[in-house]
Amino acid sequence: MVGQGKVVTTAEGFSRMLDALRAPEGTEIGLETGTQAAWVSGLLSGLNMKPLVIDAREVRQKARRIGQKCDRRDAFDICDGLRRGIYSSIVYVPTPEVLRLRRILSRRRHFVRLCTGQISAAKSLLRSVGLQGEAASLTTEAAWEKLLRGGGVELLRELLAMHAEVWGAAEENTTKLDKELPEALKPFQETINLLRTMPGVGLITSATFVAVLGTPERFPDSGRVASYIGLVPSTWDTGETIRHGHITKRGSSELRAMLCECAQHAARKSHPLNPYFARICATFGYKRAVIAMALRLARILFAMWRKGEKFDVKKLNLVAQRRTVTKTYHWRIRRREEQPVVA
């Protein structure tokens, strides 16, 4: 045991701790994932240390007393685990450019959710008094003003004005972040333009893909990317029994949601992935087809990024052929207003 104690989570606190321990440059310092993990890691790197961020779940699984959480005991387990080399889930710490992009996208998602929440709350309030037809769309300031000027909302005008005020503030912050986004995307502009050549993939989806993955070099293949995002099925393999369940849903839920949203473009007949989507949809249903296309989309985007190539439909094993299928039906269900035909 070299030393133990508490440290203040500041630059001065860490500097005093390293001076007291007389730690040489390049000393490995382990810490588990958390809100401040990236910041502390950057701080220690600036002090010429070698920080290693470990997945908190693995720390708990390999702790001496799994059911008893104690910071002092966990700190000892982390140090002892690093000494013995038992940890395998070393978490990637993004660069300052990727961190900035992540923060902007995260705050933008927060305010977009806030806008959507105020719209849903206002519509729910109107439905409670039978005025659901008064607000077909509340995505603009003019729509909110029209709603507040309406003659049938006297009893709810004050409450609706509160929702309109919160929506306006959130929309203003979203606009500010949209103006900051191009500056944060400058180091990745070439990659963003490359990913956007994929049909159905826009600016926010490609930016989120880059922000979550950070760099393609840390993934050996596209299968690891799919597992990292959480789009692969869970597996139970024991003895001669192999069962697959729902997707693992590990990693970024926002990226999964955006990929699933982009995957629904494959339902269009003109989309290059439509033949794959139609085949899976006919066998397993629409929802499974969307998940399958999101998985395929993640693999394609990763391959494009790693190879530096634009989207090429020729690599999808497809044949360009526009055709119209005509079907002949011999029977149909009789409508209510029709009289039965007697032979």
In angstroms, the CA 322 to CA 301 distance is 26
- Residue 1: predicted pLDDT: 52
Q: For residue 186, give the DSSP letter.
A: G
Per the domain annotation, does 4 fall within a domain?
Answer: no
Helices (H), the chain: 11-21, 37-46, 56-61, 71-84, 96-127, 141-149, 157-185, 189-195, 203-213, 222-229, 253-263, 274-284, 286-307
- Are 213 and 267 in contact by the 8 Å Cβ rule? The answer is no
Q: At 321, list the tokens.
A: 């052929």
Residue 200 has a pLDDT of 93
For 248-291, how does the pLDDT look when each residue is reduced to its tens digit (9 = 90+)? 998 899 999 999 999 999 999 889 999 999 999 999 999 999 99
The pLDDT-based confidence of 342 (bands split at 50, 70, 90) is low
- Compute the Cα dihedral for 121, 125, 130, 136 and give only its sign: negative
Within a domain: residue 295?
yes
Q: Which domain holds residue 43?
A: 11-84
Say whether both 312 and 226 belong to one domain. Answer: yes
Residue 313 DSSP label = G
Tell me the two tokens of residue 51: 């920080």
Q: Does the residue 329 lie in any domain?
A: no
| Contact criterion met (CB below 8 Å) for 104 and 96 | no
**CB within 8 A of 168, min separation 6: which ones?**
141, 144
pLDDT score of 249: 92
DSSP string, 141-166: HHHHHHHHH-TT-TTTHHHHHHHHHH
Domain end marker among 59, 84, 109: 84
Domain boundary among 33, 53, 84: 84
Residues 226 and 166 occupy one common structural domain: no
For the cut 60, the answer to whether the pLDDT of residue 343 exceeds it is: no
Q: Are residues 143 and 243 in the same domain?
A: no
* Total domains in the fold of the chain: 3
Each residue's pLDDT tens digit, 74-115? 888 898 898 888 998 888 999 999 999 999 999 999 999 999
Q: Is residue 334 part of a domain?
A: no
The separation between CA 50 and the C-alpha centre of its own chain, rounded to angstroms, equals 29
Q: For residue 32, list its beta bridge partners.
A: 54
27 and 116 together in one domain: no
pLDDT digits (tens, 9 = 90+) for 111-131: 999 999 999 999 999 888 887
Say whether both 207 and 312 belong to one domain.
Answer: yes
Count of Cβ atoms closer than 10 Å to residue 150 Cβ: 16
pTM for this entry: 0.85
Please give the share of the chain, as a percent, with pLDDT higher than 70: 98
Q: Which residues pair with 29 in a beta bridge?
A: 51
Determine the Cα–Cα distance for residues 90 and 39; give it in Å rounded to an integer.
16
Whether residue 321 lies inside any domain: the answer is no
Q: Are residues 309 and 208 in the same domain?
A: yes
48 and 151 co-located in one domain: no
Same domain flag for 34 and 104: no
Tell me the residue type at 319: V
Largest CA distance in the chain: 103
pLDDT in tens, 200-231: 999 999 999 999 999 999 999 999 999 999 99
In a domain, 90, yes or no: no
Kindly state whether residue 270 falls inside one of the protein's structural domains.
yes
Based on the fold, state whether residues 77 and 128 are members of the same structural domain: no
Which residue type occupies 86?
I
Domain check: are 169 and 268 in the same one? no
Q: Classify residue 323: in a domain, yes or no.
A: no
Report the SS3 class of residue 331.
Answer: coil
pLDDT confidence of residue 341:
61
- Domain check: are 206 and 278 in the same one? yes
Ramachandran class of 227: left when φ > 0, alpha when ψ lies in -120 to 50, beta otherwise: alpha
- Domain boundary among the residues 189, 216, 251 is at 189
Specify the amino acid at residue 281: C
Residues 221 and 271 in one domain: yes
**324 vs 206, more confident:** 206
Main-chain dihedrals φ then ψ at residue 87, nearest 5 degrees? -90, 135
